[in-house]
Amino acid sequence: MFPWFVVLSSFLSLALGDLAVLDNNAEYNDGRFGPYVTQSYRSSDVNSPRLNFMKPFTSCDDGSFLFVAPRGGKAGSKPYILDAKGHLIWTADHHYGEVYNFQAQVYKGQQYLTFFAGDDTIRGHGAGKYYMIDQHYNEFRQIHAANGVKGDLHEFQIIDGKTALITAYHVVEAKLGDTEHEGRDGYIWESLFQEIDIETGEAVFEWRASEHVKLSESFDPIGSRGSEGDPWDFFHINSVDKDLNNNYLVSSRYLRSILYISGTTGEVLWHLGGKENSFTDESDPGQDALHFVGQHHARWTDNYNSITFFDNRADWTSQEDVKSAGTKILVDTELKTVAVDRVYVNPIHDVLSTSQGSLQTLPNGNILLGYGFNAVITEFSPHGEVLCDAYIGEPSSRFGTGDVQSYRNFKFNWTGLPTTEPSFRLINGTFFTSWLGSTEVRSWSLRHAFDEDRTYDDLALFPKEGFETRLELSAGQNIRRYVAIVALDQYGKDLAWSKTIDISKDVDFWLTRGIVDAASYDAEYSSDGRDREVDFEWLSIRDSMILSVLGFAVTLTGAIVWLLSTQKKEERADTADIEQCSYHHAECKPMGVMWKIQSLLSSKLKRISYEHEHIALLEPESVEPDEASEWSVATDRGAAV
């Protein structure tokens, strides 16, 4: 489709704007690039975490993206979409607050970016709201918890593309009667969840832990807590899922239990693990389906026959292992038996996360772990083999410090269609371009013109690699004064234009490198040269439209007259220079003059455009669609946007 690409690219030097991808880099892990490793760009003011791939994610590349949200002692809190090589696709251009649980979810058949943002300084839970961002990166909706409580960071799951499951924490008075503080009146952090109708914002279901669970089920010692200023977080809800029976699956960190809750009465139908466990463990020797600590992200899987979760194997007060793991448990809810199906353990590094974490079952059956308190993302085969493994900006020597945390990590497919224009900057004679959020751009077309508002011709085509593409020109390119970049999709079709850069103030730079030809410099950059072109700036839009129509009519009439007058000559001499169709071709003959006009339009005028004549007077819309790509070389800028 672009034969000229091959020619041009052979004399362009090409380099990534992004820094090199790091593979098992020891300096990184020693902390020599700092406690939070990021990269910045020249075409954009955003930055992104620089990943250290212990096992490249390119071997797990199914076309989807990594969704992470690093925060913590050293990392500012932003959501990031990264590709399999760690190259940035999108990040928020402003600070929403502390960002948790960044995902792509479906609501009413449309995909949205979703996350929690707010305050997370309230004893391990949050007070904030939930955001939905559409494919054009416009904020679609903010969702709040209902009934006067504040939304918490732990859960935001859209169910059936309609409702949202969210968690919340709320201080309530309680009789701390069934604890060792017999009879004491005090305060607890109530754990609750709500199912919110996204359309109306109302809760269609709400559940409060203390109404259905005894405080004595908690493994978290109350200590001196229980006052109004320091309530006891006895339950600590951290995930909610829903099944086809309209019942809920809730993970309680401090009960060390996963609870199954009736969607009609709120009653606890069974406990998996914890002090009130309802199941018999039929696991193989050496495995334990009922004992887990600080677990997160409990989800039904395998058509509601199994439950997966991230088993931290530690919390703030106890440590039961040297590493956290993903766990999949087979559950027979009739016979009340369970058995460990598989444990997913990272053999490359002992990563123990005392908080947070996620387990996502991918469509192909692979298991993706996010290590929460440590910025690690690992993909396993269904059988537990580590396929891909990366550190999200955090050196392994800093694990356990909380410098870089990412509550949950995911992989999702995503189509991002930003409405902003691509970013295009010229720095010291090198162009840099990027387009934050676009998943569709495959290559960049550098175009140039003598006059800012006139015809832009192709100068060079660069494949997009990484977030930022660096465009370097070399001698002999004869760059014109005004330059713009156009993002092209996989079919080579224009997606969007950047702003224009006037390179004339740096013309000495271009001259010394031979990128501008000294001989043509006077003609092209001096005012004499520009005066050769008709200045249309005084024309109003209406005037230019009238002139366009008139000009088109005149050109057409001229062409017909000329054709008719030359027809006889051509038939005699057979020396026509119209390339597209041979006169000897049978199908061409019957069309006569009309065919000639069309042929004339598609071949002669294209050449005229290269000679910088008045191509802008021609309306590109009048061209047959299948000729459009031919015409793009001469298309007026405004019409191609």
Ligand X SMILES: *[C@@H]1O[C@H](CO)[C@@H](O)[C@H](O)[C@H]1NC(C)=O
Residues of this chain that interact with ligand X (CB under 6 A) are 62-64, 362-364, 411-413, 427-428
Residue 527 C-beta: closest distance to ligand X, Å: 28
Residue 112 C-beta: closest distance to ligand X, Å: 15
Burial 404-433 (b: 16+ CB within 10 A, else e): bbbbbbbbbebebebeeebbbbbeeeebbb
Measured CA to CA, the distance from residue 40 to residue 17 in angstroms comes to 10
Identity of the residue, 62 or 185, whose beta carbon is nearer to ligand X in the bound complex: 62
Tokens for 601, please give them. 């339009």
Identity of the residue, 343 or 426, whose beta carbon is nearer to ligand X in the bound complex: 426
Identity of the residue, 364 or 490, whose beta carbon is nearer to ligand X in the bound complex: 364
Amino acid identity, position 540: S
Identity of the residue, 218 or 360, whose beta carbon is nearer to ligand X in the bound complex: 360
Q: Which is it for strands 248-252 and 257-261: parallel, antiparallel or unpaired?
A: antiparallel
Residue 271 C-beta: closest distance to ligand X, Å: 32
Residue 367 C-beta: closest distance to ligand X, Å: 12
Identity of the residue, 412 or 521, whose beta carbon is nearer to ligand X in the bound complex: 412
Identity of the residue, 104 or 255, whose beta carbon is nearer to ligand X in the bound complex: 104
Measured CA to CA, the distance from residue 415 to residue 359 in angstroms comes to 23
Measured CA to CA, the distance from residue 396 to residue 375 in angstroms comes to 9
Residue 362 C-beta: closest distance to ligand X, Å: 5
Q: Name, in order, each residue with C-beta under 8 angstroms of 542's C-beta and a sequence gap of 6 or more.
A: none
Residue 627 C-beta: closest distance to ligand X, Å: 33
Residue 600 C-beta: closest distance to ligand X, Å: 46
Identity of the residue, 428 or 565, whose beta carbon is nearer to ligand X in the bound complex: 428
Kindly give the interhelix angle for 592-599 and 541-573, rounded to the nearest 10 degrees. Answer: 120
Measured CA to CA, the distance from residue 261 to residue 274 in angstroms comes to 15
DSSP string, 109-127: TEEEEEEEEEEEEETTEEE
Residue 255 C-beta: closest distance to ligand X, Å: 31
Identity of the residue, 62 or 502, whose beta carbon is nearer to ligand X in the bound complex: 62
- Chain CA centroid to CA 292, Å: 33
Phi, psi of 541 (to 5 degrees): -60, -40
Distances (CA, A) of 623 to 39, 219, 470, 493, 597: 45, 75, 34, 16, 12
Mapped onto helix, strand or coil, the DSSP state of residue 223 is coil
Q: Which of 605, 555, 553, 560 is nearest to 580 (CA)?
A: 605
Identity of the residue, 61 or 276, whose beta carbon is nearer to ligand X in the bound complex: 61
- List the beta bridge partners of residue 115: 131
Identity of the residue, 181 or 299, whose beta carbon is nearer to ligand X in the bound complex: 299
| R_g (Cα) of the chain, nearest Å | 32
Identity of the residue, 251 or 366, whose beta carbon is nearer to ligand X in the bound complex: 366
Residue 368 C-beta: closest distance to ligand X, Å: 8
Q: Which of 27, 11, 14 is nearest to 464 (CA)?
A: 14
Measured CA to CA, the distance from residue 188 to residue 233 in angstroms comes to 6
Whether 198 contacts 164, CB under 8 Å: yes
Residue 267 C-beta: closest distance to ligand X, Å: 35
Residue 40 C-beta: closest distance to ligand X, Å: 13
Q: Longest C-alpha distance within the chain, in Å? A: 115
Identity of the residue, 84 or 376, whose beta carbon is nearer to ligand X in the bound complex: 84
Residue 214 C-beta: closest distance to ligand X, Å: 40
Residues constituting the chain: 641
Neighbours of 565 (CB within 10 A): 9
Q: Which residue has the tokens 């362009």?
A: 12
- List the beta bridge partners of residue 192: 168, 208
